[in-house]
Structure 1
């Protein structure tokens, strides 16, 4: 067997066992290890790679279980001669010349081009920067990998697999629905039946489906300004008219600006992006206005657990007596964004239509992830993680707030009760896009604020700093480097 087949990366996030398995499979499928070829003994390979013998043994056993290897007499392990390798396809042809591809002008055929819309952007390699004040990302060191693996193993038991391996044709794991209904929603003051809950591929998926269901070219949608640009882009794709709604230091103002709206999107727990919390009085006034004006409300409750001062305010959905509030929740926003699990809560007729739409899009979210998350909730891991992150994020929130307020630059921090980010107003002459570029040179990643505004007169000095992905010990120096970048940016004006 070629020695160059194995190149182990000790710094990789991938385990050594998985690297060995992957490289053996590559060798088998690539033809360098033909059927019947013997592989080194576990002892010999372990010595060659300077790893433990159990690591090699487990890699071999996994490949035996998968049918790539077979065990023979005298404990010899060989490439399975029963393995069917991919053959040359009779349909393969030479690659077409570049001109054959370039002549098609898809711009004349595409009816929608989302790439032209303004979006939140961050460097793909943000983890490589020493001071990543990014939002919607987490510190991977805080992920409870042992607990998640335990839940994953339980989800892979024979009894559990019988529940989630089949195509559910648009239905969700009843175990997860029950956990959402009995463990998550009551904490927000919400009580719902099973037919009033839909599991989605994250809050983003929930919002997209709702805009498709409720809006068309004859609709008027009210959105917060500044607000969530992705939601604004979703509404634009429906052809609906949009009204930009003013907010102040308490959030949305429920006055005459709502008149005429068919649909209202709001982020009351922590207004996106300013993070202010809508007071209970305004929540009630908003419901009264919506009742009189027959407005449907979408409540995006994306991080209700991150309140560091006082207790979270009850969800607007919990105050709703007429069923006009549709609640969007997330199971991954503050914990592990890559999981992409969320849920919708609303009247049964709305959930029924949303479920039918979801079936056309993706049928249902992966049921193995649903079952793993249900176990994660049922066994108390979610509650333990929530409490731990609340403590850690509060400490980081205090650290970054104090560092910004102590700065001589003149940063103004939007007062808030918590959240996962800080909304900052810089000096009047500051352009946050120029600041972003200069900050990157200092190793600082931030988000300029203009993308959150709609209209021509967008404030340029606001920007957003997240603190969920940066360790507390780096925050102070990160703000110091941000000050340097700010001074440089002001000189460029």
Structure 2
């Protein structure tokens, strides 16, 4: 099979055609463009480059002589991978251009056009190969053994039946799958005490996407948004990217404190079910007081109902949206956190006028989330598999949370910051003599992954450098206690 890649060369009159074609082919070989496929035939290459066939024949034959290509009778020319090396490829180039200078010029070209603010954002960093570590106390990754793959495949097959496929195979313009909306209304939102009409719900590609849509719609340089301190780094970055004034709001044991700063906010973002990253659950009296403050000071609450389904020692508290009688709460939820992070499906519940505007903005970005995923998810919920999976997930989390709580109390009791009722992680504070960054680096050397917590703080201070987050969703239960014991030994070593 031949490579069908379109080839174009901006020829320079100062150099020969053969020289420039040869250089281009060598660069493609180095980048692995051709792989195991034959290069374009001499005739096709000549046609694409608008040069004579003999010019291409001479280039190919020269590359065969130099060992970069080999010819196979009736099949064409192939890259000779066995003979390649970077030094050999570089020496074969006859270009008079300095590639280093060219690359530098290109980088400068784009640097002048790109928004460098994105490079200033502080983000959570995780090793791409986290699953290769024996003790990955890493947040946001699932236990693959729990995922109901058989049931998901069944729903995928059902979604591809001839009687169903016409529902999602066409472009839906800006509409969502009505079956998924129906399932959210019937089986997901009621668990949080929420009742919503169809025009009050928008499907997104996850919580971050919902927040980005809201920032784009609601925020300007004159907008003040209150965020929890410490809090979710991505929401801080999203709203800061849209030029909002960020107001860090202090926390206490009941959640967001009712401070004077609330009166200065246009919007307040909160994670009341399990606060990110402390896992504090906002009390019912505090929820009611926050709603009263929103009415009194005329601000809107953005409720990110993060991990509402993962309460291990108590029943879930009612959502702020379910308590809202004034239309001041925008509710953001996700199937990605509970079902699969890779699924990228979320939803927003709000006043129909806001949802209509968000739908128009979403259309400009990606029209709608993939409808096949929406329909598969709708079937997964309607057939009871979602509730069954949540029960299985909750049972696993209860076991792991208990195991981790006991291990921390046994080996590292001095690091406990407060008691929590659930969530998939623990928020710990190290002794003042040990920085979280150093602790994480040294832990990685002994096969244990933890996350430094300083990235969650808007204001960097000496105190913020001593927090770490340990999650248990991705680690097996039997490895929790040994992993915590290793961390305790490391803590003693660094404290000595």
Task: State the distance in 2 between where 1:485 and 1:361 align.
Answer: 47
Structure 1 regions of 5+ residues with no counterpart? Answer: 1-27, 33-86
Greater CA drift, 356-365 or 383-392: 356-365
Preserved contact between residue 136 and residue 334 of structure 1 (Cα < 8 Å) = no
Gaps of 5+ in 2: 1-33, 39-43, 52-92
Q: Which residue of 2 aligns with 1:5?
A: none
Structure 1 stretches (4+) deviating beyond 6 angstroms?
A: 92-96
**Which has the higher Rg, Structure 1 or Structure 2?**
2
Contact 1:404/1:413 (<8 A) preserved: no
Structure 2 counterpart of 1:128, from 124, 127, 132: 132
Aligned residue in 2 for 1:479: 484
One of 457, 467, 474 as aligned partner of 1:469: 474
Alignment of 1:110-149 (within 5 A): 110-149=114-153
SS in 2 for 1:398: helix
In structure 1, the partner of 2:335 is: 331
Alpha-carbon shift at residue 354 of structure 1 (Å): 0.7
1:133 and 1:161, CA in 2 relative to 1: closer, same or farther beyond 3 A? same
Q: Over residues 292-329 of structure 1, what are the superposed CA-to-partner deviations in whole Å (9 max), with x where a residue is unaligned?
A: 11101100002100011221000000011111100000
**Distance (whole Å) between structure 2 residues aligned to residue 91 and residue 290 of structure 1:** 65
1:344 alignment partner in structure 2: 348
- Which of residues 387, 395, 401 is equivalent to 1:397? 401
Q: CA deviation at 1:456?
A: 3.2
SS in 1 for 2:397: helix
2:264 to 260, 267, 292: 260
Separation of aligned partners in 2, 1:404 and 1:427: 15
Q: Partner of 1:103: helix, strand, or coil?
A: helix
**Superposition TM-score, scaled by structure 1 size:** 0.80
Q: Does 1:90 align with 2:66?
A: no
1:459 corresponds to: 464
Q: CA RMSD in A?
A: 2.5
8 Å CA contact 2:310–2:394 kept in 1: the answer is yes
- Report the number of matched residues: 416
Name whichever of 449-458 and 469-478 sits farther off. Answer: 449-458
Q: Any idea what the Cα deviations from partners look like across 1:93-151, whole Å, max 9, x if unmatched?
A: 99994533320312222234313210011111000000000111011111111000000
Which of 179, 194, 200 is the aligned partner of 1:196?
Answer: 200
Q: CA deviation at 1:423?
A: 0.7
Residue 219 (structure 1) aligned to one of 216, 223, 248: 223
C-alpha distance in structure 2 between counterparts of 1:198 and 1:405, whole Å = 43
Write the distance in 1 (CA, Å) between the matches of 2:126 and 2:37.
41
Kindly indicate whether the alpha-carbon contact (under 8 Å) linking 1:431 and 1:489 is maintained by their aligned counterparts in 2: no
More displaced, 207-216 or 95-104? 95-104
Matched, 1:186 2:190: yes
Shift of 1:264: 0.6
